[in-house]
Structure 1
Amino acid sequence: MAAPKTLPILDLNRFAPDHRERTQALAELRDVSRTVGFFYLAGHGIPQEEIDELTTLARRFFSLPEKDKLEIEMRRSPHFRGYNRAGLEYTRGAQDWREQVDFGPEREKLDLTAGDAPWKRLIGPNQFPSVLPELRPAVLKWIEDVTAVGLKVLQAFSEALGQKPDVFAPIYSNGPNQLLKIVRYPGRDQTESDQGVGAHKDGGFVTILLQDVVGGLQVDDGEGGWIDAPPVRGTFVINIGELLELASNGYLKANIHRVVTPAAGGDRLSIPFFLGANLAASIPVLNLPPELASEVRGVTQDPLNPLFRAVGRNVLKSRLRSHPDVAREHHSDLLEEQAQEKTPA
């Protein structure tokens, strides 16, 4: 019997400019990025104490009475920040059975006029629960720290593509798009299906996922099956988003993945962070070296989910589709426009 497929483990330290294994590490990164598009990241530098603190606070939040969680219900926020009960987020039209709270960069709401780009509605403050004041500083520090890790990973991808490490700096340096989710998947006895999150791709540059102790993440193996990605203590799971697939004209692969609901009587905690470009940016096509350009496959096109090079347009489209209750509450004027968006990148 063939050995089960697993995700490789890459050490971020090996991508340092003076590391003796740097060339080999970049080759390994290219290889995994052309195939499964997912790997475990060790050597990220975030202390285990900080990881443990955030997961403890996440557990405390989800154990709060429902009225305290609903104090920061996402439906109150036009910026798509805050808490969602299980079954209120959708992937490709089907319910995802997870409760979660979404955070982004802490910014002031913009004063908008009729002519402003619709994606500017996404900019604004977070919601934090008044009964758990420790959560705010922990979340904002985590966003800062995993953003730094994500930019190092992005620089490694850039060099693996034969580019300068800061090739993407013009489209993130004025403020990248950052989304942090703290998620709890209830056991199968509390859900209406085994879809924790339906099969999908992520939309940013890279995703940095912290898993607790229960598995459930599965990655498309390209052969009709799934690769399990169970938690590995001290690592994050990294995957490529659609922005890198767009920028590399399909040389890099944003792969499909899903989360299956935990067994009855248990639950699963995960904390994914999505690092993207500035909402005002447009994604360029990189000029790859000839040996890489000859292997370009082109960008995958999904008629049900067209991709746009305009970052803000892509992000807004995703949020409107994923959270129809928030869309109806705050952005009903955009729903008809979105239904007519059919031109891919």
Structure 2
Amino acid sequence: MSFTSIPILDLQLARDPATKAAFLDQLRDALLEVGFLYLRNVGIPPELFEEVIRQGKAFFDIPVEEKLRIEMKNANSFLGYSRLAAEMTAGAVDQREQIDLSTEHAAPAAGAPLCHNMRWPNQWPSEAHAPGFRAVYTDYMRRMGAVSRYFTSLIAEAIQLPPTAFDKYFDADQQHKLKIVRYPDLAELNGHQPRPPPPQQQEQEQQQQQQQQKQEPEQGQGVAEGGGGGGGDGTAHRQSQGQPPPSQGVGPHKDSMLTTYLLQATHHRGLQVQNVQGAWIDCAPVAGTLVVAIGQGMEALTQGVCVSTTHRVLSPAAGSGARFSIPFFRNTPPTSTASSSPTASPARRCSGAARAVCRYFHTHFTIKTGQADRPFHLFLLSAHVGISGGEGQASERASGATGEHLHSRRG
């Protein structure tokens, strides 16, 4: 049965032996059937969450010159600032700006494999422009590393594996990534000069317009419904026809990492999760929770038992202000392989295989505009441990300027 809501789990239940079994049952259902969940009582002090949100919002108010000084294209890694509309998903521009950070690592030694460029020092804004920013986010990433490590052990237990089943895929000094994202509302976007769509998208739109002109419905005939979670505005119909939604913060995609822990930093709706029937289910902010998304890396490591689910973000309505989100990503080293991945119980694997028949396997990948001269395979190295493809940016990615359409695969 397809899900119609996102479950809410309380991590405190997992810490109590008397309630841990019930928690693992709830987690198992979320892993196998939804791929998304809300998680409360994660162990992060509320005052740190508040400071993370405050500092994250304030970052986008620093001078443009300072943001461009730490722009991603200035480094050999995928860390740093990205301008508004600098990325594309599923052939359409993503209307967001962001900064990508990671747990600190030194630059790789000369002659190291190219994939080691994934680990690189952060590009931080200066203390003069963003006082306290570095300290707050360094602390937050450290604490979230511990939270995600514990939750990964619970995932293993939920699918009847030892709690240490995934430990061998992580380094002692494991790199994790974080992103601070700002989605302008439609009023602000209407004042921003949009970039022209790529030639491939222009040609596709022209072909669709010509086809629609040939197939105009006669008077009295119905048109396709716009429901199915699309908000009644025709979004679902546009999606079924391969067209992007009218206000794309980020287009439909699956996360490439093992797990994502999203702090929704404002009251806005906009994050939507697609169920197996193709309906878009709102994942609205819930106070005191993180949104956990299962990535394709975990789907591969569990041989398809844990499901990675397609999701998207719509731009905020005009006049509602910008939406902010802060996802943290648990990663594996870029050299990891799944050649000896743990095996879940046969019953759980059968459940996953049956579910897989109706799931959407296509995934898209983002190419950053102005960076297509970089080796393309770097975008595929992030955490993919046995997956055909991925996004080297830690999350929320999709198809790019190359026009390639890759497929994810299970196990």
- TM-score computed with the length of structure 1 as normaliser: 0.86
Question: Which one of 116, 119, 127 corresponds to residue 123 of structure 2?
Answer: 127
2-side partners of 1:334 and 1:203: how far apart? Answer: 13
Question: Which one of 132, 152, 155 corresponds to residue 154 of structure 1?
Answer: 152
Matched, 1:198 2:251: yes
Going from structure 1 to structure 2, the CA distance change for 1:190 and 1:169 (only over 3 Å counts) comes to same
- Give CA-to-partner distance per residue, 1:28-87, whole Å, 9 cap, x none: 111111112111101101011001111111121111222222121111111111111111
Matched, 1:226 2:302: no
Going from structure 1 to structure 2, the CA distance change for 1:198 and 1:332 (only over 3 Å counts) comes to closer
In the TM superposition, residue 229 of structure 1 has moved relative to its aligned partner by: 1.0
Q: Is the partner of 2:107 in helix, strand or coil?
A: coil
Matched, 1:255 2:309: yes
Question: Which one of 167, 170, 181 corresponds to residue 169 of structure 1?
Answer: 167
Amino acid at match of 2:248: Q
- Number of corresponding residues: 322
Matched, 1:185 2:170: no
Deviates more, 1:78-87 or 1:255-264: 78-87
8 A contact 1:176–1:279 mirrored in 2 = no
Question: Which one of 315, 330, 352 corresponds to residue 296 of structure 1?
Answer: 352
In the TM superposition, residue 343 of structure 1 has moved relative to its aligned partner by: 8.8
In the TM superposition, residue 331 of structure 1 has moved relative to its aligned partner by: 4.0
1-side partners of 2:33 and 2:326: how far apart? Answer: 24
Going from structure 1 to structure 2, the CA distance change for 1:163 and 1:73 (only over 3 Å counts) comes to same
In the TM superposition, residue 190 of structure 1 has moved relative to its aligned partner by: 3.0
Deviates more, 1:200-209 or 1:23-32: 23-32
Which residue number in structure 1 is paired with residue 368 of structure 2?
Answer: 323
In the TM superposition, residue 8 of structure 1 has moved relative to its aligned partner by: 1.4
In the TM superposition, residue 156 of structure 1 has moved relative to its aligned partner by: 0.7
In the TM superposition, residue 19 of structure 1 has moved relative to its aligned partner by: 2.4
Which residue number in structure 1 is paired with residue 83 of structure 2?
Answer: 85
Matched, 1:287 2:311: no
Q: Is the partner of 2:23 in helix, strand or coil?
A: helix
Which residue number in structure 2 is paired with residue 74 of structure 1?
Answer: 72
Which residue number in structure 1 is paired with residue 323 of structure 2?
Answer: 268
Amino acid at match of 2:343: N
Q: Is the partner of 2:353 in helix, strand or coil?
A: coil
Q: Is the partner of 1:175 in helix, strand or coil?
A: coil
Q: Which has the larger radius of gyration?
A: 2
In the TM superposition, residue 342 of structure 1 has moved relative to its aligned partner by: 6.7
Going from structure 1 to structure 2, the CA distance change for 1:333 and 1:43 (only over 3 Å counts) comes to closer
1-side partners of 2:134 and 2:405: how far apart? Answer: 36
In the TM superposition, residue 9 of structure 1 has moved relative to its aligned partner by: 0.9
8 A contact 1:80–1:326 mirrored in 2 = no
2-side partners of 1:290 and 1:227: how far apart? Answer: 30
8 A contact 1:42–1:235 mirrored in 2 = yes
Going from structure 1 to structure 2, the CA distance change for 1:6 and 1:168 (only over 3 Å counts) comes to same
2-side partners of 1:70 and 1:216: how far apart? Answer: 28
2-side partners of 1:165 and 1:333: how far apart? Answer: 33
Which residue number in structure 2 is paired with residue 14 of structure 1?
Answer: 13
Q: Is the partner of 1:325 in helix, strand or coil?
A: coil
In the TM superposition, residue 333 of structure 1 has moved relative to its aligned partner by: 9.3
8 A contact 1:220–1:257 mirrored in 2 = yes
Structure 1, unaligned stretches of length 5 or more? 306-317
8 A contact 1:82–1:102 mirrored in 2 = yes
Amino acid at match of 1:196: G
- TM-score computed with the length of structure 2 as normaliser: 0.72
Matched, 1:246 2:291: no
Deviates more, 1:292-301 or 1:234-243: 292-301
In the TM superposition, residue 296 of structure 1 has moved relative to its aligned partner by: 3.4
8 A contact 1:175–1:278 mirrored in 2 = no
Amino acid at match of 2:109: D
Going from structure 1 to structure 2, the CA distance change for 1:322 and 1:58 (only over 3 Å counts) comes to same
Which residue number in structure 1 is paired with residue 59 of structure 2?
Answer: 61
2-side partners of 1:188 and 1:59: how far apart? Answer: 18
In the TM superposition, residue 264 of structure 1 has moved relative to its aligned partner by: 1.1
Amino acid at match of 1:288: A
Q: Is the partner of 2:249 in helix, strand or coil?
A: strand
Which residue number in structure 2 is paired with residue 310 of structure 1?
Answer: none
Query: Following superposition, which runs of at least 4 residues in structure 1 exceed 6 angstroms of deviation?
Result: 298-301, 332-335, 338-344
Which residue number in structure 2 is paired with residue 314 of structure 1?
Answer: none
8 A contact 2:253–2:363 mirrored in 1 = no
